[in-house]
Amino acid sequence: MAVRAVRGAVQLERDEAGHMDEQVGALLTAVLERNELTTDDLISIWFTATPDLHSDFPAGAARRLGIVDVPLICAQELDVEGAMPRVVRVLAHIASDKPRADITHVYLGAAAALRKDIAQ
């Protein structure tokens, strides 16, 4: 079994804790479903949020989904002029037999514009 990485992102409509929880939860659920993963396949998850998001930690959504025994960390995304606002990004390390080319990266809603080359 190999260690693989799955990327994803979602743009929030507003900076509110409940909205972040809902949107990040939807992103994590899509990452798991589209890659046929269970929480047992997760090794760790790294979250970043743009500097304009202050209402909650994105990792809280993972805990509320039941991802409780996986190391999670949150960090602030670089504050680059002109960057898309209110974005939460995910980098999940997984154990998988899938070849790297078969990993499905998930960019929801407007965040699909961030990686048109790999967004599904």
Residues annotated in the binding site for prephenate, as ranges? 7, 89, 107
Strand order in the sheet with 87-96: 72-76, 42-49, 87-96, 2-11, 106-108
Annotated binding site: 7, 89, 107
Q: CA-CA distances (angstroms) from residue 13 to 16, 61, 102, 120?
A: 9, 16, 30, 21
